[in-house]
Amino acid sequence: MAANQAILDATIRHAVFLEKLKAGEVGKFAPFLKEIDRSIRDRLTQSDLTEYNVKRLEALLKEVDSLLLGIFDRYSAQLNLDLVDIANYEAEFEATSLARSAPVGVSLDVVAPTAAAIRTAVLTNPLSVRGTGGGKLLKAFIKGWTGAERERVTGTIRQGFFEGQTNFQIIRNIRGTKAAGYKDGILATTNRNASTVVHTSIQHVSSQARMEVAKANTDIVEEIQMVATLDSKTSQQCRSMDKRKFPVDSGPRPPFHPNCRTTFILLTKLSAMFAKGATRASVGANGGQQVSADLDYYHWLQQQPAAFQDVAIGPVRAKLFREGGLTVERFAELQLDRNFSPLTLKQMKGLEPLAFERAGI
């Protein structure tokens, strides 16, 4: 098997494994969520809030916040330990994969980064998530989430008090209703956000650990190349990032947004020599297929029917894609600004007004 194909196949298989690992890690939040639910119910059934004054309410909110802080702190401590373990595993996988990517008769002397270097990278390099809240360190990212969830719960209690709601009504707003499977309450939002935080954090530590392997082997690794998922769910940022190459010591790294699935491969001095004939997985209008590894997202999308394009990138962008008279390369460039943040349709129109006119948009 060609070296490039071996690296790409191993990376994609590992990305699938990583998604399963994320799901397992998300499941670890369940007992903490139950404890939050129980603690809130226990505290709010001790006295009637309709008899409280503002001073007593604020004292209650501080007590509830303290309870939540203790639970979230314990979960965060466990999550941080798991993330460091995952990072060490990711570095080991990448080093092994890099060594095995060499063709028969060629030996690569791969250096594995130290555990200390991996931990430092994971904790001191910011997440590459764009937009509001971007550029946070890992612990601050997790702490920001737990703080927001605590405020959401105490805010619901405060709002309920000032609207004259009963304790039962406030608890229902927090827990949700049985008829809706408890998916309509504040804690359902907390659970969804926990999933996002876990997915994004794991993607961050995976990227940072693998980059440490690249940095420790600059005599072998020349560049990194982004690999987005070829399906209809891929984000605007990741669609345009697909197949882009960056130096080992600079440039953005996944995750580019919450729940990002994009990964990357390490390009060695032998990569170009063994690139011919490599394939990658895709899920298009006709289901799962192997396509040429040379295809980036938009060249792949160009081969899909119009209905699929409409679903994948939205009907307006899809119309521009088909009828705007732009090259695939130019269309891809229009999706992101120079800081790799998504451009709106209005911003795109300002850059290419004639394309919008040709497409009748």
Q: What is the pLDDT of residues 169-228, one digit of tens each?
A: 999 999 999 999 999 999 999 999 999 999 999 999 999 999 999 999 999 999 999 999
Note down the domain range covering 225.
Answer: 3-241
Tokens 């909110």 locate to 61
Partners of residue 342 on adjacent β-strands: 336
Q: Does 311 lie in the same domain as 219?
A: no
Q: Is 96 exposed, middle or buried (0-12, 13-18, 19+ CB in 10 A)?
A: middle
* DSSP states along 174-196: HH--GGGTT-SSHHHHHHHHHHH
Q: Does 220 lie in the same domain as 351?
A: no
Tokens 């962008």 locate to 317
Q: Does 295 lie in the same domain as 151?
A: no
Summarize the confidence of residues 238-242 as an average pLDDT: 96
Q: Does 306 lie in the same domain as 229?
A: no
Alpha-carbon gap, residue 356 to 62, rounded angstroms: 54
* CA quadruple 299, 304, 306, 310: dihedral sign: negative
Q: Does 315 lie in the same domain as 194?
A: no
Q: Does 304 lie in the same domain as 209?
A: no
| The two three-digit tokens of residue 92, written as one number | 């080991």
Tokens 């550029």 locate to 135
Q: Does 294 lie in the same domain as 183?
A: no
Q: Is 19 exposed, middle or buried (0-12, 13-18, 19+ CB in 10 A)?
A: middle
For 197, the enclosing helix (H) or strand (E) is helix 186-216
Residue 275, pLDDT score: 59
Alpha-carbon gap, residue 290 to 186, rounded angstroms: 42
Residue that terminates a domain, selected from 214, 241, 268: 241
If one counts the domains in the chain, the total is 2
Q: What is the pLDDT of residues 84-140, one digit of tens each?
A: 999 999 999 999 988 887 776 777 889 999 999 999 999 999 998 877 667 899 999
Alpha-carbon gap, residue 6 to 274, rounded angstroms: 10
Q: What is the pLDDT of residues 53-68, one digit of tens each?
A: 999 999 999 999 999 9
Task: Let me know if residue 11 belongs to a domain.
Answer: yes
| The two three-digit tokens of residue 102, written as one number | 């060499």
pTM score above 0.85: yes
Q: What is the pLDDT of residues 299-309, one digit of tens each?
A: 999 999 999 99
Task: Let me know if residue 318 belongs to a domain.
Answer: yes
Residue that terminates a domain, selected from 207, 241, 275: 241
Q: Does 11 lie in the same domain as 150?
A: yes
Task: Let me know if residue 311 belongs to a domain.
Answer: yes
Estimate the crossing angle of helix 186-216 against helix 115-124, to 10 degrees.
130
Contact (Cβ atoms closer than 8 angstroms) between residue 161 and residue 57: yes
**Backbone Cα Rg of the chain:** 24
For 118, phi then psi, to 5°, come to -65, -45
Task: Let me know if residue 269 belongs to a domain.
Answer: no
Q: Does 306 lie in the same domain as 228?
A: no
Tokens 């289901």 locate to 287
Q: Does 219 lie in the same domain as 300?
A: no
Residue 278, pLDDT score: 77
Q: Does 190 lie in the same domain as 114?
A: yes
Residue 1, pLDDT score: 44
Q: Is 360 exposed, middle or buried (0-12, 13-18, 19+ CB in 10 A)?
A: exposed
Task: Let me know if residue 247 belongs to a domain.
Answer: no
Partners of residue 279 on adjacent β-strands: 292
Q: Does 236 lie in the same domain as 292?
A: no
Task: Let me know if residue 41 belongs to a domain.
Answer: yes
Task: Let me know if residue 263 belongs to a domain.
Answer: no
Task: Let me know if residue 246 belongs to a domain.
Answer: no
Length of the chain: 361
